[in-house]
Structure 1
Amino acid sequence: MSHDPRPCEVVADLHNGWDVNWGVDWDDDDDGSFSHASTAPDNDTVFSASENGYVTDELELYPIDEGDSDGDNDDQRSELSWQLSCAESTSVCPSVFEDEVAHGRRYHGYRKGRYPLPNDRREQQREEANHAMMLELTGGHLLYSDIGEHPQKIIDIGTGTGSWAIDVADLYPSASVIGTDLSAIQPKWVPVNVRMFVDDCEEPDWLHGSGYDLVHFRGMAGVLHDLDGVLAKAYPRIRNGGWVEFHEVVPQILCDDGTMGPDDPLRIFYDAAVQGLRTFGCDPMRTANLEEILDRAGFTNIRCVTKKIPISTWAHERHLKILGLFMKAVMLDSLDGLAAKPLAALGVSRQDRRELVKHVKKSLEDRSVHRYVNCCFCYGQKKEQFVLETES
């Protein structure tokens, strides 16, 4: 059974381990959020500022750890654009262009507050490192489902920076590939068979057709509010014999040889982050039960492959060392985002979150602690349905 402490236990563990003040003082904590229209330094909007009066100057963002910077500057601005879908109207939703800024990080504006993690440059860097790690973990395979050599339609829900969708489009030029996300952070230049949409997959309407060979999710199972509902909506849009596939890192810090103590900073941090994410309607530990969820949704031929990923470079074998280096990079880039909204929701002050991140970063440098996480690849097939034709 996983260790899943209540918020009060998390606070007690952290207090005992590092002697920081966990008292809540909202008057001193200026972590409130605000909206800033079209401030994303790595996005070009389909509207110009002169036409709509949107602000286009970059907003300098400061992460929780004051010694770091977000890495955004004018010389490194990437050109990004997107196509937009909106259930309420055929026109572009204005909220797409209004970024939320909170705790020194930038968040999506469309369906503001739905997803509690950032979408800024540091988060995009984390996604790219995570994509490289997944390729190393799977030996270069983008998917496990048997979709054949010439699939026709693939959709990547929660595509993020679009790396998986772009790679799968290159691998299968026969397929029309769609990527959807709450954030418009995908590159402008993509393969000709790729289309990107700003969309909320939990809205009642499905706006992207049917007949899919594959519906793909990465890092989404634990942050959707109603995964059963999303799968129920996707199921009829998958062709007979088509697949759904999840790639999910289970956010639980594990160790098999006793080198991780009960007061391990990284473990305590992730336990707290899981509790914080739950306050936003997420269920991060749902990733450990995907086989049951797919069965409940009506899929058959369900398979789950679980692989261990070391944290840092403590493992001896070269492949595992590379994986550990990737995972360390992914975690370092995720700390500020996880310590922002999720831990603030538990009542942790800004100063205490900074102190916590500092301890966790130091812990990640300790190769004597043999920690790891599990990554689950779970996929299932829509049952073939044969229709018998009879003479009238």
Structure 2
Amino acid sequence: MGVPEKRKAESPLSDAAASPKPAAPGPSSPGPKENSPTHASSSPRSEGRSPTPAPDSPAPELPGVMSGAHWLQQGLPETDTDDKDSTLGSDVESSTASISSSILNYRTINGRTYHSDSVTDGEYWAPNDQKMLGALEIYYHSLFLMTDKQLFQAPLKDNIQHAIDIGTGEGFWAIDFADKFPYCDVVGTDISPIQPTWTPPNLRFEIDDATKEWTFKKNFFDYIHISFLNGAIEDWGNLYKNAYRCCKPGGWIEHFDCSPIVSCDDETLPPDSALATYGKILDEAGRRIGRSLTIAHDGTQEPGLKEAGFVNLHTKQWKQPLSPWPKDPKQKEIGLYTYAAVTSDLEGVIQFLFHKVMGWSTEEVAVFAAHMRQEMKEQKIHGYWTWKVVYGQKPEDAE
């Protein structure tokens, strides 16, 4: 994806680093991560963790939500022949092709793989293969633009010594942060070994599951960064308490996450559209696996961090356009990168949650994805996702 200019010229992920061990058969998914969030190869496994439940057969329909059978009945969408819409579609496809050629020309698609179940007890919904990593790289750049190219919001001092990125995924943020703070020791943790080998000398990656007891030193980190862990954490309160224990007095924690619920401010989002259905299905899937996928709408961050002991809390929110529909040039660019990222691997994002958790057939998932891509391409729906960051500080006098 469009990351800072210096990384575009860097060498691609090595085959060894980019080809993690496939998970047990089955589809996948925020935790993502996407890129998955946490890891802990050294700590013991927690007991009693139940696997992802098998979907009911047939899967019960949700009130007001179009089912998989509905989308299968619609068939694949036809290309819109309206001149105006065709022009819009042509423009977005041309721009997307330009992004792909300049940023993703070194990527290869090896096949769908997920994290190894030897690392964590729970199943993460996002693939960890090259196709998903390519989409995440573009997505990272969309977020980079959305936040005005700010890697963090907390008021960090230039002389911080230790920082950690929980759920680092492909490691793009951790690499940029380590470059910005060359004298700070930076650690990035994840449940999949999908990070590049070309990293700044002050950065190291570790396979670790953050949902388990943290083994890092008490009062150690000046800054703890948590990002995009939708669908990865069962007990946010426990994670925040681990972070508080390992955070240095006066140090900062920052949690940046989103909600897949599509919002719209001008009534262009039909309730029976694929985009309206998307977030509702993911919300229900998160409930079924016991790991919320709607963090930015749940009100989880502020009270959880406060209960853990953090003070001086601050909150900020952003709107991420789903396609280049905005008239504002900056928002249009953000929407273009979001569109490019999501449509390049939409099946990878939804197949685990829609198919394995919600019980949709493979054909239903494919047809739904086609309709959602078509809606994003046409740009008639002015939808966006909400992102929220909450950052806070461990009291200076904390023991």
Alignment partners' CA distance in 2, 1:122 and 1:11: 33
Letter in 1 for 2:275: L
CA contact (8 A) 1:116 1:277 kept: no
CA contact (8 A) 1:178 1:195 kept: yes
Alignment partners' CA distance in 1, 2:159 and 2:371: 49
Pairwise mapping of residues 211-222 of structure 1 onto structure 2 (< 5 A)? Answer: 211-222=220-231
Pairwise mapping of residues 190-339 of structure 1 onto structure 2 (< 5 A)? Answer: 190-207=199-216, 210-288=219-297, 289=299, 290-339=301-350
TM-score by length of 1: 0.73
From 368, 378, 383, the equivalent of 1:356 is 368
Alignment partners' CA distance in 2, 1:273 and 1:12: 11
* Equivalent in the alignment of 2:359: 347
CA deviations on 1:241-296 (whole Å, 9 max, x unpaired) are 11111121221101111111111111202211232233322111233311222112
Structure 2: gaps (5+ residues): 1-58, 75-105
Once the 2 structures are TM-superposed, how far is the Cα of residue 76 of structure 1 from its aligned partner? 5.4
CA contact (8 A) 2:186 2:203 kept: yes
Alignment partners' CA distance in 1, 2:225 and 2:291: 19
From 6, 15, 18, the equivalent of 2:71 is 18
TM-score by length of 2: 0.71
Instruction: Flag the 1:163–1:311 CA change in 2: closer, same or farther, 3 A.
Output: same
Once the 2 structures are TM-superposed, how far is the Cα of residue 379 of structure 1 from its aligned partner? 0.7
| SS of corresponding position for 1:13 | coil
* Equivalent in the alignment of 2:380: 368
Instruction: Flag the 1:278–1:352 CA change in 2: closer, same or farther, 3 A.
Output: same
CA deviations on 1:134-155 (whole Å, 9 max, x unpaired) are 2111221100111211110000
Alignment partners' CA distance in 1, 2:340 and 2:381: 17
Count of matched residue positions in the alignment of Structure 1 and Structure 2: 307
C-alpha RMSD over aligned residues: 2.6
CA deviations on 1:350-371 (whole Å, 9 max, x unpaired) are 1111111111111111212111
Letter in 1 for 2:71: W
User: Which is further off, 281-290 or 297-306?
Assistant: 281-290
* Equivalent in the alignment of 1:88: none
* Equivalent in the alignment of 1:107: 114
Once the 2 structures are TM-superposed, how far is the Cα of residue 194 of structure 1 from its aligned partner? 0.3
**Residue 184 (1) aligns with residue 193 (2):** yes
Letter in 2 for 1:14: S
Instruction: Flag the 1:183–1:19 CA change in 2: closer, same or farther, 3 A.
Output: closer
Alignment partners' CA distance in 2, 1:218 and 1:332: 22
Once the 2 structures are TM-superposed, how far is the Cα of residue 206 of structure 1 from its aligned partner? 2.0
Letter in 1 for 2:368: L
Instruction: Flag the 1:328–1:272 CA change in 2: closer, same or farther, 3 A.
Output: same
From 141, 162, 165, the equivalent of 1:132 is 141
CA contact (8 A) 1:266 1:360 kept: yes
Structure 1: gaps (5+ residues): 1-5, 22-74, 79-100, 388-392
| SS of corresponding position for 1:313 | coil
* Equivalent in the alignment of 1:156: 165
CA contact (8 A) 1:222 1:283 kept: yes
Once the 2 structures are TM-superposed, how far is the Cα of residue 298 of structure 1 from its aligned partner? 1.4
CA contact (8 A) 2:108 2:130 kept: no
Letter in 1 for 2:329: R
Instruction: Flag the 1:370–1:13 CA change in 2: closer, same or farther, 3 A.
Output: same
* Equivalent in the alignment of 2:19: none
User: Which is further off, 269-278 or 149-158?
Assistant: 269-278
Instruction: Flag the 1:17–1:149 CA change in 2: closer, same or farther, 3 A.
Output: same
CA contact (8 A) 1:7 1:275 kept: no
CA contact (8 A) 2:218 2:245 kept: no
**Larger Rg: 1 or 2?**
1
| SS of corresponding position for 2:163 | strand
Alignment partners' CA distance in 2, 1:214 and 1:374: 24
